[in-house]
Amino acid sequence: MSNIEEIKKRRTFAIISHPDAGKTTLTEKLLLFGGAIQTAGAVKSNKIKKTATSDFMEIEKQRGISVATSVMTFEYRDLLINILDTPGHKDFAEDTYRTLTAVDSVILVIDCVKGVEEQTERLMEVCRMRNTPVIVFVNKLDREGRNPFELLDELETKLGIRVRPLTWPINMGADFKGVYSLFEEKLYFFKINKTKIESNVVEINLGDDKLEELLGLKDAIQLTEDVELVEGVYDEFSNEAYAKGELAPVFFGSAINNFGIKELLDTFCEISPLPQPRATDVREVEPTESKFSGFIFKIHANLDPRHRDRIAFLRICSGKFERRTFYHHVRLNKDVRFASPFTFMASDKSVMDEGFPGDVVGLYDTGNFKIGDTLTEGENLNFAGIPSFSPEIFKELINLDPMKSKQLEKGIQQLTDEGVAQLFNLDLGNRKVVGTVGELQFDVIQYRLEHEYGAKCRWVPMNITRACWLTADEKPAMDEFIRLKGNQIAFDKDRNPVFFAESDWMIRMNRENNPKIHFHFTSEFK
Ligand code: GDP
């Protein structure tokens, strides 16, 4: 097969949701369609149920599970579909944001009872930054949910994206009868059916008398009115608007009952984008280019204590990746090759001899990779779009064992390379500050520093709520600002200056008083 044919076969996406909306259940049902798993219950949730921070075994176990389900590949209708898993737990949101840079589209799951939740909004913000195409699945229709029009309004206002329902529910909860597919003109009847995949389907035009026979007078009238309203209020579905991330098609269903999933998957296969071109600091890279390129979007520590190496996840962006071939590691300016890169086919790790754009390759790493690193066939370019976001919780790292400062240094460098948290340096007194989006991370780091690097530490909370990356129109202005602000200025791992702020108010004030200095909430501002 030619490269182009290989590219056309691939779809790489993520399912995103607020915890508990049904991401794991939906993933599992999609894998069942693809035959990648045989039974329900095979996909483990990577949720960290307990926030009990002392429960490290739980954390370790969860980390183990999330390696196994980090990427799930299955075949369906001649396509090779890669689902990139995203942790739902808020404390691991950074990991999720970065994974979103490696996909070409997303499916967003919404709980019809709860509507748009906090994590949903944040995740969609990240999708909007890159104009990622979104399909929405409104889940749990077997429960008494909110009015569908109200839900659609909320999606539009809170998520800042236009929506277009492609199916429409007939009641919800105990009276839920099924959905009407607006584009196929078919009624899909709902039956509690956890094992079989088909539901009962009738092809019908809404003007047909049979509709009343099938649904009863009240529901037939309601459906007809609803659909009229939908057609009147919402624009026609446009593939182009979807591809630009401006319009999200919406499906209704019930993941646990396997209802509405096939329509979702079939539509996904029809409309979802193939591996897309990607921006770099030099030029845009097309997937069809003959030379290989790719970037690391995730790094995972190996759970097996006998193998201390880590697993780096590489998204292929162009050309063909081959085993045992030298590639250029741009940041380190050296050539590297891989003896046993692996795929995630059928949840087994199997050796990958060659890979194509859209594929994710697992690479064993002994410390060569940082998140965002680029591999090429020689060209010096760096993939863009992997920003760091401002952490929300900041603590100073205190070394408890002066004999182990080397280990602590190495450990904290490596853990922050993995993207577990962000490391900042306060030059005054050479203090190290770690920033995260969740408390859990501090426990994970402390535990791992001790168990993997033999270093002991404690944390001192800091009165900071935001880190803003700084740029300036001219260097003297920056130097002056840095001098004036003293210990409010820290440096990130790449020695970019950041401003530590106690509150949003303080950022506003400093902005107003220093017009030559620009404050950024993500590290990507080139
Ligand atoms: P995640 O946190 O988004 O991965 O959510 P899960 O897939 O783990 O689902 C959260 C809970 O919702 C579980 O108890 C599921 O069994 C349940 N659930 C998932 N889909 C449905 C559905 O269609 N209807 C109902 N009633 N419950 C569902």
Question: Mind listing the pLDDT tens digit for each residue in 417-427?
Answer: 887 789 999 98
Q: Does any domain span residue 293?
A: yes
Model confidence pLDDT, tens digit, residues 244-261: 999 999 999 999 988 899
pLDDT at 54 over 60: no
Q: Does any domain span residue 386?
A: no
Among 15, 16, 18, 20, which is best to mutate for testing ligand 1, by the most ligand atoms less than 8 A from CB?
A: 20
Is the CB of 86 within 6 Å of ligand 1? Answer: no
- Do both 159 and 117 map to the same domain? yes
The domain total for the chain is: 3
Least confident of 11-15, 54-58, 59-63, 330-334: 54-58
| pLDDT at residue 43, as a whole number | 59
C-alpha 21 to ligand 1 mean position (Å) = 6
ipTM of the complex: 0.99
Question: Which CATH number belongs to the domain containing residue 340 in this structure?
Answer: 3.40.50.300
Is the CB of 22 within 6 Å of ligand 1? Answer: yes
- Do both 75 and 141 map to the same domain? yes
Is the CB of 373 within 6 Å of ligand 1? Answer: no
- Do both 371 and 399 map to the same domain? no
| pLDDT at residue 55, as a whole number | 45
pLDDT at 301 over 50: yes
Model confidence pLDDT, tens digit, residues 453-482: 899 999 999 999 999 999 998 999 999 999
Q: C-alpha angle 316/322/323, rounded to 5°?
A: 120
Q: Which range among 57-61, 206-210, 270-274, 309-313 has the greatest average pLDDT? A: 270-274
Is the CB of 385 within 6 Å of ligand 1? Answer: no
Q: Does any domain span residue 188?
A: no
Ligand 1 atom, smallest distance to 21 CA: 3
| pLDDT at residue 429, as a whole number | 85
Q: What average pLDDT is seen over the chain?
A: 87
Alpha helices (H) along 118-247: 118-129, 148-159, 210-215, 217-233, 239-243
| pLDDT at residue 87, as a whole number | 74
Question: Which CATH number belongs to the domain containing residue 501 in this structure?
Answer: 3.30.70.3280
- When pLDDT is cut at 50, 70 and 90, the band that residue 219 belongs to is very high
Q: Does any domain span residue 216?
A: no
Is the CB of 18 within 6 Å of ligand 1? Answer: no
Is the CB of 140 within 6 Å of ligand 1? Answer: yes
Q: Does any domain span residue 165?
A: yes
Would you say 459 and 502 are in contact if contact means Cβ atoms under 8 Å apart?
A: no
Is the CB of 27 within 6 Å of ligand 1? Answer: no
What is the Rg, in whole angstroms, of the alpha carbon atoms belonging to the chain?
A: 25
C-alpha 369 to ligand 1 mean position (Å) = 36
C-alpha 386 to ligand 1 mean position (Å) = 30
Q: Which range among 29-33, 35-39, 52-56, 338-342 has the greatest average pLDDT? A: 338-342
The domain of 98 spans: 3-183+236-273
- Do both 138 and 257 map to the same domain? yes
- Do both 165 and 19 map to the same domain? yes
Among 16, 25, 176, which is best to mutate for testing ligand 1, by the most ligand atoms less than 8 A from CB?
A: 25
| pLDDT at residue 300, as a whole number | 81
- Do both 351 and 436 map to the same domain? no
| pLDDT at residue 432, as a whole number | 96
Model confidence pLDDT, tens digit, residues 64-118: 545 555 788 888 999 999 999 887 667 777 778 888 999 999 999 999 999 999 8
Q: Does any domain span residue 290?
A: yes
- Residue that has been written with the tokens 């490269």 in this structure: 3
Distance CA 502, CA 39 (A): 51
pLDDT at 44 over 70: no
Beta bridge partners of 321: 355
Which of 364 and 59 is assigned the larger pLDDT?
A: 364
C-alpha 20 to ligand 1 mean position (Å) = 6
Beta bridge partners of 361: 314
- Do both 418 and 500 map to the same domain? yes
How far is the first Cα of the chain from the last one, in angstroms, to the nearest whole number?
38
Percent pLDDT > 70 in the chain is 87
* Helical pair 23-34 and 261-271, crossing angle rounded to 10 deg: 70
pLDDT at 305 over 60: no
Q: Does any domain span residue 193?
A: no
Which of 62 and 351 is assigned the larger pLDDT?
A: 351
Q: Does any domain span residue 385?
A: no
Q: Phi/psi class of residue 473: alpha, beta or left (left: φ > 0; alpha: ψ in -120 to 50)?
A: alpha
- When pLDDT is cut at 50, 70 and 90, the band that residue 438 belongs to is confident
Would you say 453 and 411 are in contact if contact means Cβ atoms under 8 Å apart?
A: yes
pLDDT at 372 over 70: yes
Is the CB of 258 within 6 Å of ligand 1? Answer: no
- Do both 178 and 29 map to the same domain? yes
Is the CB of 117 within 6 Å of ligand 1? Answer: no
Is the CB of 145 within 6 Å of ligand 1? Answer: no
pLDDT at 294 over 60: yes
Q: How far is CA 174 from the centre of its chain?
A: 34
- Do both 177 and 30 map to the same domain? yes
- When pLDDT is cut at 50, 70 and 90, the band that residue 49 belongs to is very low
- Do both 172 and 135 map to the same domain? yes
- Do both 84 and 127 map to the same domain? yes
- Residue that has been written with the tokens 């949903």 in this structure: 120
Q: Show the tokens assigned to 172.
A: 């919800």
Model confidence pLDDT, tens digit, residues 164-195: 999 999 999 988 999 999 988 888 888 755 44
- Residue that has been written with the tokens 């909306």 in this structure: 21
Least confident of 1-15, 299-313, 365-379, 496-510: 299-313
- When pLDDT is cut at 50, 70 and 90, the band that residue 499 belongs to is very high
- Residue of minimum CA distance from atom 14 in ligand 1: 20
**In 3D, which of 57, 84, 69, 20 has the Cα closest to residue 347?**
69
- Do both 46 and 147 map to the same domain? yes
| pLDDT at residue 270, as a whole number | 93
* Helical pair 439-453 and 56-68, crossing angle rounded to 10 deg: 90
- Mean pLDDT over 269-293 rounds to 95
Amino acid letter, 74 = F
pLDDT at 60 over 70: no
Model confidence pLDDT, tens digit, residues 127-147: 988 899 999 999 999 999 999
C-alpha 22 to ligand 1 mean position (Å) = 4
Ligand 1 atom, smallest distance to 26 CA: 7
